Chain A
Amino acid sequence: MENQLVEVDQLKIRFPVRDGKRKSYITPVDHVSFTIRKGEVLALVGESGSGKSTIGRTLVRILDPTEGSISVEGQNINHIKGRELRKYRGKAQMIFQDPFGSLNPVRTVEKHVTFPLKKYRGCRGAELDKEIDSLFKRVGLTPVSEMRKKYPHELSGGQRQRLAIARTLAANPKFMVADEPTSMLDVSIRAGILELLNELKHDMNLSYLYITHDLASARYFGDRIMVMYGGKVMEIAESKTLIQKPLHPYTQLLLAATPGSSSELELSSLSNEAPDLSEGRQGCPFAHRCPLATNICKEEMPPLEGTAESEHFVACHHAGGDFKEAFNLIQ
């Protein structure tokens, strides 16, 4: 499989938490494996507490993995440091959710891209000037001459996110983590940003890990969708398949809850309990909310199973069960 760009194997991330005097651990990401091909968008969908942002931040090594391995272009990046880490970051970049928070308020627009251009492309003088110009044109920050000397607060939300994208492109990356890049933008602006990311994917053969809570945009932008709950992978499939033939009860619930799904499911008295993230938890994290759950679900985490040719993998003891009927029964 030489066209795999990112290979994540049995990734586990653990954080200490202090509960009064006792120190304990939570594992927001627990034995997660997936791959991203060159030029592919893997959409990672989940609610808060699913571990999706933690995975994103670990892939660009803002956070460190506890166990398992992450390799990018065959290089294991689990424990790289210093110069090697900085070199890796030229390959792997990240777009943040809050476009204003990810820009330095006292720096002008062009200052945000000059450092990475110098560092990763060795641009100097007139060449630097030209590169800034073409970079801003590429992301649609025009007219360029007017934009360059502005400060972030003078830009609109969409322009800020375009600048953040320009900064990541300056490093000449092969792989990008986009952590809910449109969720803080106005509706009319979102599509434009997604379109831009899509164009960049085609033009530069970029790969993305697109983190979102919105299945509709995941389906639009993602080639494949991975659904997570409580730190574990529930289901991975090609976007269209996942939306049309979801096998996992959680995916079905998520689909039914998404506005515009015209689902008949009545959820008004559904419990809103958050998943348990404590270390050493057992069974399927969704079991306590799942209408199909049986004893085995609470004791044993089902493995992620499927066939390689269908590329549809699901981790459920009761995959494909009639979720709606079961759900309406227990209500």
Chain B
Amino acid sequence: MNVELGKTSQPIGKKHSPLNRIYNFLLPLFANKKATVGMIIFLVFVLAAIFEPWIAPYDPNAAIFPPSQAPTAEHIFGTTNTGKDVFSQFIYGARSTIVVGFGAGILTTIIGLTIGLISGFAGRIVDSILGFVTNLFLVVPGLALLIVIEAYLENASPYMNGLIIALTGWAWGARVFRSMTFSLGSRDYVTAAKLSGESNLRVMFTQIAPNMVSVIASNIMYASLAAILADSGLAFLGLESVSSVSWGTMLYWAKGSGALLNGSWWWFLPPGIGIALVGMSLVLMNFAVDQITNPRLRQQIRRKHNG
């Protein structure tokens, strides 16, 4: 009976090759134009960050070229006032900016998720303690705290910056995850899982967390964006080791050397646009997150594409 019904549902069980799985998983990214654009931009920067020694034509710290040159064929982004190649600095800066941004974004999300799940699930006393700590981190002005810590540490490396950003910025995520855990935790399937003998820890991570994947992914994207902006901001203020190469420090040197005044636009525009583009790519990719993580939406897209 119901042969007709069988036809409409997708034979997902039949395609098991890993390539097909990856294709099916990523299909939504290609099905959504905004997300495709975002992913292409993002991939360009990631590739640049991975292959920087091959892409960058010169050592970013070698001050051996004619200073303050406008872009030429040899120096496509021109040179700084001390004779460093801006393009090479831009490529090297991509790595530290992306690693710091994403590292901090993921770390923030992990901290926020853990605290959110526990306080949403563990009961009143634990919840009120964790809630208090979360609120504390919410009301402390983030950038001011960062500046104080940075000033105390003096010349922190970009990675240290990322760590500090993550440790101070998890509270928003924790709030969101906590309220989601509350709402998902009262669903019948969670109760049913407990009745099936699953322990609280198992319920948290195998029943509740998978239903939050889209929020987790969004949180990573936005936290990364915030981390990139915070890191660049700190570096721009000179609160990062000025000898490191990142887009923030490029801006710091450009401003300190009066690039804005004497019209060396090729120096401060690339890092500024770089930050804007990476940020935009994250926001654009976020449009497809729901479609990747929701099995129902995922299948609708697959149905459209496969016939």
Residue ranges of A at the interface with B (Cβ–Cβ < 8 Å)? 60, 62, 86, 89-90, 93-94, 96, 98, 101-107, 115-116, 119-120, 145-146, 148-151, 153-154, 156, 164, 167-168, 170-171
Contact = CB atoms under 8 A, between A and B. Distances in A.
Contact of B210 (A107, A146, A149): A107
Contacts of B13: 145-146, 148-150
A90 B194 CA distance: 11
List of 4 A-B pairs having minimum Cβ-Cβ separation, nearest first? A149-B13, A102-B188, A116-B196, A101-B188
Contact of B295 (A145, A148, A153): A153
Nearest to B13: A149
Contacts of A86: 197, 199
Nearest to B195: A89
Contacts of A62: 191, 194-195
Contact of B196 (A149, A156, A167): A167
Contacts of A171: 195-197
Given A106-B210, A106-B213, A154-B9, A98 B196 contact: no
B114 interface: no
A90 B293 CA distance: 32
On chain B, which size bracket covers the interface?
A: 20 to 34
Contacts of B195: 60, 62, 89, 93-94, 168, 171
Nearest to B2: A156
B111 interface: no
26 contacts: A60-B195, A86-B199, A89-B194, A89-B196, A89-B197, A94-B191, A94-B195, A96-B188, A101-B187, A102-B188, A104-B207, A106-B211, A115-B196, A116-B197, A119-B197, A119-B198, A145-B13, A149-B12, A149-B13, A150-B9, A150-B12, A151-B296, A151-B299, A154-B9, A154-B299, A168-B195
A177 B267 CA distance: 72
Interface string B264-307: 00000000000000000000000000000111100100000000
B5 to A, nearest CB: 8
B192 interface: yes
Given A89-B195, A90-B197, A171-B197, A105 B295 contact: yes
Interface string B237-269: 000000000000000000000000000000000
A94 B191 CA distance: 10
Contacts of B12: 149-150
Nearest to B198: A115
B193 A120 contact: no
Q: Max chain A CB contacts within 10 Å: which of B194, B197, B199? A: B197
A104 B6 CA distance: 22
Given A102-B189, A105-B296, 13 more contacts: A60-B195, A89-B194, A90-B197, A96-B188, A101-B189, A102-B192, A104-B193, A104-B211, A120-B197, A146-B13, A149-B12, A150-B9, A171-B196
A115 B192 contact: no
A119 B189 CA distance: 17
A94 B9 contact: no
B21 to A, nearest CB: 12
Nearest to B10: A154
B6 A146 contact: yes
A153 B197 contact: no
A72 to B, nearest CB: 14
A165 to B, nearest CB: 11
Contacts of B295: 105-106, 151, 153
B192 A94 contact: yes
Nearest to A86: B197
Contacts of A154: 9-10, 299
Nearest to A113: B196
